[in-house]
Amino acid sequence: MQPLHTTAGFATRLHEVYLRAMLAHRIREMAAVWEEEGVRIRRTLHANPELSYQEHETSALVRRHLQEWGIPHATMAGTGVVGLLHGKDPDSRVVALRADMDALPILEENNVPYRSTREGVMHACGHDVHTTCLLGAARILHTLRDEWKGTVKLVFQPGEEKNPGGASLMICEGVLENPRPEAIFGMHVNPQLEVGNVSFRSGKVMASADEIYITVRGAGGHAAAPHWTTDTILVASHIVTSLQQVVSRNSSPFSPSVLSICSIQGGHTTNVIPSEVRLMGTFRAMDEEWRFRAHGIIRRQVTAIAEAMGAEVDLHIDVGYPGVHNHEGLHAIARSLADDYMGPARVGETELRMGAEDFGFYTQHIPGCFFRLGTANASKGITHGVHTPRFDIDESAIPIGTGLMAWLGASAALPG
């Protein structure tokens, strides 16, 4: 490149700026054209949701469109799909764009034409939107392949909603190899953010998530003779109370962490002490070192209480997703690109969340940036949260998410 202090250097730089502005303009135009088809695809996906690791029809839809557009692709991790897009000088950079495809076991309550046709299964977390936007971005980038440099890897993954997480399976099967992406971008709908806006955050974004399963066993019996029994209800109650101290008296108050016991099952009548009580809960943390130290504390407290009260206990901690950490350098690049594409007034700051996302597996291996797409419209009553039976989106968010994903894929310089 010519030095900027020379006339030739300035002209070269001016030409580069012009080409970038033209690329952004072209992407915006094509995203707007994509909106009608994107809405149709999203509604098809929404009406035909599939649970984690069962996304056979969704995977087939993705593969059918990639085949139609001439984009090379392959299946991975059962129902996952990986595609490759080559721009100019394809070896100069490799960026991955990711979408998840699975739905949730929720009965939809929306009265809309595209309501779920599958009883008790619903796209209540917006994965239909993510898949639609990545398909649109793929089509745009493929059409404009002579106007951007590098390679873009398309990652359509299964099973984000259920351990062990589709991302972990995709990684095990080599999604981050051949070619290896130098960075990965992921997007998630945000029903608390008005449509037309997006948000980013540097560093820690979301928590890790582990599942806790505890079974307390003892000699049950007549409630009128508790001295002949091991009161499993009482033991379980002490365990629940004690576990509340794991965070409050062991974790730094400056490191967010949550432990919640969300289910207690035992007994079936008023005068029988049950021989077994089951507890289930979740543990969330923002710090990986503290996360696994807490597992040890949980095990010690549960075991000690059960033994002291004469009960037996089985404890299983199902280690789930790691926290999502946005690479600081990649975040700065992505946010700047979003400012250029959408205007700074429409790009905000994502709040810290204790929810979890298996995108965190990717960020353990390569720089990642996970951002939010505003999908709310208060004037239309579209405000219900994810994982609820009334969740829906303002579909004008689709061309925004599509265009921004394409822009990031085509334009992101990679952090050193």
Is residue 101 a contact partner of residue 156, using CB atoms and an 8 Å limit?
yes
Q: Is 146 a catalytic residue?
A: no
Site of tokens 């991975």: 76
Question: Would the CA dihedral through 196, 286, 361, 180 be positive or negative?
Answer: positive
The H or E element spanning position 246 is helix 232-248
AA identity, residue 111? N
Q: If you ran DSSP here, which 8-state letter would residue 378 be given?
A: G
Cα separation values, 85 from 60, 135, 145, 149, 298, Å: 19, 12, 8, 10, 47
d(CA 62, CA 366): 25
Choosing from 50, 160, 161, 194, the catalytic residue is 160
The Cβ of residue 153 has, within 10 Å, a number of other Cβ atoms equal to: 21
Strands 80-86 and 73-76: antiparallel
Q: Which residues contact 144 (CB under 8 A, 6 or more apart)?
A: 23, 26, 27, 30, 410
Rounded to whole angstroms, the Cα distance separating 300 from 305 reads 9
In this structure, are residues 90 and 146 in contact, taking their beta carbons and an 8 Å threshold?
A: no
Number of H helices, E strands in the chain: 9, 16
Catalytic residue among 35, 50, 100, 102: 102
**φ/ψ bin of 203: left (φ > 0), alpha (ψ from -120 to 50), beta (otherwise):** left
The pair of structure tokens assigned to 348 is 């905000």
Q: Is 102 a catalytic residue?
A: yes
* Catalytically active residues, by annotation: 102, 160
